[in-house]
Amino acid sequence: MRKSEFGVIGLGVMGKNLSLNIAEKGFKVSVYNRNEGDEANFVTNFLNENSSFKNILGYHSIEKFVASLEKPRKILMMVKAGSVVDYVINQLTDFLDSEDIIIDGGNSYFLDTKKRYDALQKKNIQFIGCGISGGEEGARKGPSMMPGGNNSSYKLVAPVLETIAAKDANNKPCCTFVGKDGAGHFVKMIHNGIEYAEMQLLAEMYAMMSISMTNESISAIFSSWNKSDLSSYLLEITSKILIKKEAGNYIIDTILDKAGNKGTGSWSSKLALDIGIPATIMTSAVFARYLSAFKEKRKKLSVLISREKATFEIPRTKILEKAYRFARIINHQQGFEIISVCSSEQNWDINLSELSRIWTNGCIIRSNLMNDVSEIFKNNPELIDDTSIFETLKISENAVSKLLKSGIDNRISLDAFYAAYNYWVSMTTKRLPANLIQAQRDFFGAHTYQKIDENPSQYFHTNW
């Protein structure tokens, strides 16, 4: 019997849909899932539900699963990030041969991927850490894929990955070799940081608009923005979410206001802190989720605040639109800056234009702006260097300050918009009060300081 061209381990939502996507494109695919506990029957159920696919073979034994694959074997693991990844790799390696390829398609931490890559290289097994974005629908119809590892093993899996990936406006696959070892998982992590910030900006805009608008009208505005340069997948789904009803009620009004997270946003923020990049919007988005989790405390304290809401008018829609455009650009500026700096530090040589190109479709942060970003990075090292981006920011600053003033008047927390505004103001201010910080540091700790008109390599200390 002809062996399978590809294997998938893990039949959770993503694993199932990716397997179907691969099979639908005509590849013969073997699938494996552990047959225990709440995952017993995963394989059997999957095969039964998809019996029309004759090119999917299911296995309960990892050994038989491996034996069903053509060499070099290409195995995509879709399991929970963390220790499960190591567990499955250990199980697998007993049965693998030299040059077989394992792909980790989960949201693994990139430094873990780097360690696994190095460890498997020693055993002559190739390892690809592949960020995959697009959720359930993306997995089934075409995700954005961010593989990292080494280019020669990527070339062997590219025929499958590039076939199942989403396609950009020029019909090129939204899948490209990102860089060595952990680069693929690293960019997926930052993708998620950008995603957190994009979501928070929409949430804050919704909070602002809700003061005086119905769900229907907010949805209509979002939907009209979605026909403009502001168009994005997240804006599109948000306009749909706002008007979805169940038993006559808007679902959105029935959802508890406690945001969850699986960690990639805080990983991105922590990394930004470690490498000295002010990724202020994604960080405020992470904190906003954490703040929301204190529901009981918020409820208790809110009773002590008697101020009425909706006392003050909110800015006109045109102002809101400009402020939203502004904050999104700053978010992308910050996110790509982390990538650029980390890429140099790790010698990944990530091509920012190509990376943003594979984010123009399939992934959660796909947008019109991402198309522009991809073009801008062809000629500029940073988004903010592009004259038209800079002009847009310049002419929108006023709109953001109006939004923020109204946020204060109406007692609406707009942390992500503040972060965007303050980043812009600081970045375009020649003299910041950091001279005082330096003086204080020198006063209490003799940390020394540089002087404005002196050689920057010279440090001074004052006996204060």
| Beta carbon nearer to ligand 6PG, 265 or 407 | 265
CB 142 within 8 A of CB 119: no
If one asks whether residue 261 binds ligand 6PG (CB under 6 A), the answer comes out as: yes
Rounded to whole angstroms, the Cα distance separating 157 from 132 reads 14
If one asks whether residue 107 binds ligand 6PG (CB under 6 A), the answer comes out as: yes
Residue 267, CA atoms < 13 Å, CB-side half-sphere: 19
Region near ligand 6PG per CB under 6 A, out of 5-13, 62-70, 130-138, 335-343: 130-138
Region near ligand 6PG per CB under 6 A, out of 242-250, 259-267, 342-350, 456-464: 259-267
Among positions 12, 72, 82, 135, the unique one binding ligand 6PG when judged by CB under 6 A: 135
If one asks whether residue 343 binds ligand 6PG (CB under 6 A), the answer comes out as: no
Residue 379, CA atoms < 13 Å, CB-side half-sphere: 7
Closest contact distance (angstroms) between CB of 325 and ligand 6PG is 23
If one asks whether residue 264 binds ligand 6PG (CB under 6 A), the answer comes out as: yes
Closest contact distance (angstroms) between CB of 14 and ligand 6PG is 8
If one asks whether residue 364 binds ligand 6PG (CB under 6 A), the answer comes out as: yes
Closest contact distance (angstroms) between CB of 130 and ligand 6PG is 12
Rounded to whole angstroms, the Cα distance separating 52 from 57 reads 12
Instruction: Spell out the residues 6+ positions from residue 217 whose beta carbon is closer than 8 angstroms to its own.
Output: 209
If one asks whether residue 268 binds ligand 6PG (CB under 6 A), the answer comes out as: no
Q: Which of 353, 5, 330 is nearest to 163 (CA)?
A: 5
Q: Which string of x and - marks every residue 15-44 that binds ligand 6PG (by CB under 6 A)?
A: ------------------------------
DSSP structure string for 285-333: HHHHHHHHT-HHHHHHHHTT--PPSS-SPPPPHHHHHHHHHHHHHHHHH
Q: Active site includes 64?
A: no
Please give the residue whose beta carbon sits closest to ligand 6PG in the complex. 133
If one asks whether residue 374 binds ligand 6PG (CB under 6 A), the answer comes out as: no
Closest contact distance (angstroms) between CB of 420 and ligand 6PG is 20
| Beta carbon nearer to ligand 6PG, 17 or 133 | 133
The phi and psi torsions of 180 (rounded to 5 degrees) equal -75, 170
CB 45 within 8 A of CB 68: no
Which sign does the torsion angle of CA 297, 299, 303, 307 carry? positive
DSSP structure string for 390-425: HHHHHHHHHHHHHHHHHHHHHT---HHHHHHHHHHH
Closest contact distance (angstroms) between CB of 232 and ligand 6PG is 13
End-to-end CA distance of the chain: 84
If one asks whether residue 134 binds ligand 6PG (CB under 6 A), the answer comes out as: yes
If one asks whether residue 194 binds ligand 6PG (CB under 6 A), the answer comes out as: no
Q: Active site includes 195?
A: yes
Q: Which of 161, 156, 170 is nearest to 142 (CA)?
A: 161
| Beta carbon nearer to ligand 6PG, 68 or 192 | 192
3-class state of residue 264 by DSSP: helix
Q: Which one from 5, 16, 195, 322 is the annotated catalytic residue?
A: 195
3-class state of residue 180 by DSSP: strand
Distances (CA, A) of 279 to 32, 330, 354, 391, 414: 40, 9, 22, 21, 16
Q: Which string of x and - marks every residue 63-102 that binds ligand 6PG (by CB under 6 A)?
A: ----------------------------------------
Closest contact distance (angstroms) between CB of 229 and ligand 6PG is 23
Among positions 21, 113, 133, 239, the unique one binding ligand 6PG when judged by CB under 6 A: 133
Buried (b) or exposed (e) across 336-352, using 16+ Cβ within 10 A? bbbbbebbeebebebbb
If one asks whether residue 238 binds ligand 6PG (CB under 6 A), the answer comes out as: no
If one asks whether residue 148 binds ligand 6PG (CB under 6 A), the answer comes out as: no
If one asks whether residue 405 binds ligand 6PG (CB under 6 A), the answer comes out as: no
Q: Which amino acid is at 283?
A: T
If one asks whether residue 195 binds ligand 6PG (CB under 6 A), the answer comes out as: yes
Q: Which one from 28, 74, 114, 188 is the annotated catalytic residue?
A: 188
Among all residues, which ones are annotated catalytic? 188, 195
Residues that bind ligand 6PG (CB under 6 A): 107, 133-135, 192, 195, 260-262, 264-265, 363-364
